[in-house]
Amino acid sequence: MFAKILIANRGEIACRVIRTARRMGVRTVAVYSDADAGALHVEMADEAVHIGPSPVGESYLRGDKIVAAALATGVEAIHPGYGFLSENPDFVDQVTAAGLVFIGPSAASIRAMGLKDAAKRLMEKAGVPVVPGYHGEAQEIVLLASKAREIGYPVLIKARAGGGGKGMRRVEHPDDFSEALSGARREAKAAFGDDRVLVEKYVDKPRHIEVQVFGDIFGNVVHLYERDCSAQRRHQKVIEEAPAPGMTPALRKAMTEAAVKAAKAIDYSGAGTIEFIVDASQGLKADRFWFMEMNTRLQVEHPVTEMVTGTDLVEWQLRVASGEKLPKTQSEIALSGHAFEARIYAEDAAKGFLPATGTLHHLKFPDTVPEGASMRIETGVRTGDAISPFYDPMIAKLVVHGKNRQAALEALGISLSQTEIAGSTVNTAFLAALAADADFSAGDVDTGLIGRHQQALTAVPPPSSEIVAAAALAASGAGAQAPTRDPWSSLAGYAHFHAMARRTRLRYGEDDILALVSMRPDGRFQVALDAPYDSALDLRAAPRLARWPGHVTVFSGAVGYSFAVPDPLARADEIAAGADSLRAPMPGLVKLVRAAKGETVIKGQPLLILEAMKMEHTISATHDGTIAEIATEGAQVTDGTVLVRFAEEAHG
C-alpha cells in the first residue's frame, strides 16, 4: 500500500479521498489555488501545495504543476478525483513518465472511451448495444443535418468529449438544427476544448441507468449493480438512487453483463461506470437499453453504490492501484436496502437553475435520521466558506440509506427539511419537492420528469405571516446584538412595567415590509405587520432561523426565506434601475452579443449569451424597447453587472 498520495482535486471529493486514506494509514497531500487557500480539503490533508491562481486553467488543469508538487512532496501516487484531469490521458502519461502511479485506469483505456463516437464504435464491435445515431468523424453541418433527418426527429446533439450535460441540445424540428448545433459546439469548445459532436435518436421516455464496474491489473472485472440517475435538470443529475426502481432480473442481468463486457474490451483497471439509456415507454425490458458512454473515473454519485453494497470504492481504488487484486469476487457482492443521493447546489431553481455564489454564513446538516435509516454528508465546505464563481457550485451531497425505497425516500425528505443553509440561494426546497413528487415517489422516473414538472417543483410559496413575523422579531434587535446572539433575548429589555415597541423594516424580494415588535409582560412577543400581511401575531417560541450581516433567514421545512434588513442610515431614496436595465444573474463571460446599440428589440428576443461555469445562459429582452447600451463580447462580468440598458421610452 502507498505511504503517501497527492489528490489532484478540490472540494468534497478531495475531502472524501482524504478520509479513506487517513483510515488506511495513507498520508495525503492537497493542492490548492488562490481561491482555495483556506479550503476544508487543505485543512484536512497532511500537507498542501499552492499550484496557482483561481481559474482552473491556471491551477487544477495544470498537470505540470500537479506532477511537480507530487515530486516535491515525495508521494508515490496521484488520485485525480472526478472532473478536472481525471479523464485526461495526457495527464496520465505525465504522471507515469514521472515515475508515479495514477490511481485510475491506463491512458489507453481512457483514450478508448474518451470520445463518445469512437467509444460507441468500439462497443458495437464488442457486442454491446448502442443508441441509433451518427458517430462518425465528419462534422460538416450539411452532413450532420442530413444524418439528423435520417435518424428522425427529435434528435440529441452531444459533444463527443466530456459530459455533465455540457454541449448537449435536444432538437425537435429541422429548422432548429443549425442554431442548436452552434450552441452545442460553443459550449463543448468552452468546456472540453473540442467542438465536435455526434447526433443520436432522442428516446421518448429515457431513463439513465448506469452500472458501477471495477477491474484490476490481473484481468478481473466485477460489477456493483446499477444506479438510476434519471432525475436530471439541464442534462445534469440531481438525485441518484440505487438500485434502480422497477429493475427486473432480466434487465439487470443483461445490463451488468454488457457493462462487464465493455470494461473487459478495453482491459479496464480501477473504478468506472458504464452509462446506459433505457427506453421506459413500455416498462423496463432487456432488449430496450443502449450504451451511452463510459466514465473512466469515480462518479459523483458513487456513495449510493457504497451504501447498498457495503463497500468503500476509494479504498478499492487505492488497493487496485497499488497492485492488489479486487477485494471481492462477484459472488461476494450483494445488494442491501436502498440509497438516495441529493446534490445540494448553490443555485436558483426558480430562475432556470442559475448558479449562485455567496458566503455560507450558516450551514447546518441534520443530526439524526429516522430509526432504521442512516445518513452521510459529503461536503468540502464549512460555515463561513464562500461559493466561488470559479468552480462547480455544489455545497454537499446528502446520502441516505433505508431498508427499502420507501424508507430511504422518507429519510431523504426528512433530512432535506432539516438542512439549513443561509448566505446563498440553494436548491434544498426543489430537492424536497422532487422527493415528494408523486411520480418520483412511485419510481416512475425518466430524464424528462423534472422538465415536465419544473414549474411546480421550483415554485416556492410566499412566506406566511408567521414567518415574516419571526424574521421581524429577529431583525428588531439587529442594531444592538451580535449576529450569533439569540434574537429573542435582545428584546428582553423592552418590557419593564409595561409593553414597549420597536419599529422594524424588512425587504423580501421586491417587497418592503414594516413591522411593530413589542414584548408583553407575560413573555410573549407581538408583531404587527403592515400590508400586504395586515396582521398581528403573538410569538413565544423561536423558530429555526439564522442571522447574518444585513439579513435574517427563517427556515420552514426545506425552504429558507431570506429577508434583507435595510440599514436605517442608508439613503431612503435609493432606487434601483428597475426595468430599464438587464443585469447579470451571476458572474460570467459575455460569450455572444446578438443586438446592437440603437437597435429596437421586442420582448423575448435573445440579446446576448452569458457563459457561467461552462454553461451558456441566454439573456432575453423583458419588454419591447430600444437599446441604449449593451455589453461587449468577451467582457467578464460580476453578479449584478448591467448587461443591457434601454433608452428611456414607453414600453409594454
Residues annotated as catalytic (active site), given as ranges? 297
**Residue 438: helix, strand or coil by DSSP?**
helix
Beta strand residue intervals within 520-624, DSSP E: 525-529, 535-539, 545-548, 551-556, 559-564, 581-583, 588-593, 600-601, 606-612, 615-620
Q: Please state, in angstroms and rounded to a whole number, the distance separating the CA atoms of residues 265 and 300.
A: 24
C-alpha cell at 148: 439528423
CA distance 114 to 82: 14
- In whole angstroms, give the CA distance from residue 200 to residue 150: 10
Angle between helices 313-321 and 11-23 (to 10 degrees): 70
Please tell me the distance from the alpha carbon of residue 342 to that of residue 345, in angstroms, as a whole number: 9
Closest CA to 122 of 270, 277, 294, 285: 294
Place of cell 426558480: 350
State the Cα–Cα distance between residues 16 and 315, nearest whole angstrom: 11
Cβ-based neighbour number of residue 502 at 10 Å: 18
Determine the Cα–Cα distance for residues 230 and 240; give it in Å rounded to an integer: 7
Residue type, 524: R
Collapsing DSSP to helix, strand or coil, 31 comes out as strand
Residues 86, 88, 91, 96, CA torsion sign = positive
The one-character DSSP state at 342 is E
* Rounded distance between C-alpha atoms, residue 396 and residue 348, angstroms: 16
Helices (H), 510-581: none
Pick from 236, 344, 255: which is nearest to 299 by CA? 236
Please check whether residue 424 is in contact with residue 360, taking contact to mean a CB–CB distance below 8 angstroms. Answer: yes
Query: 123 with 291: CB under 8 angstroms?
Result: yes
- The alpha-carbon radius of gyration of the chain (Å, integer) is 26
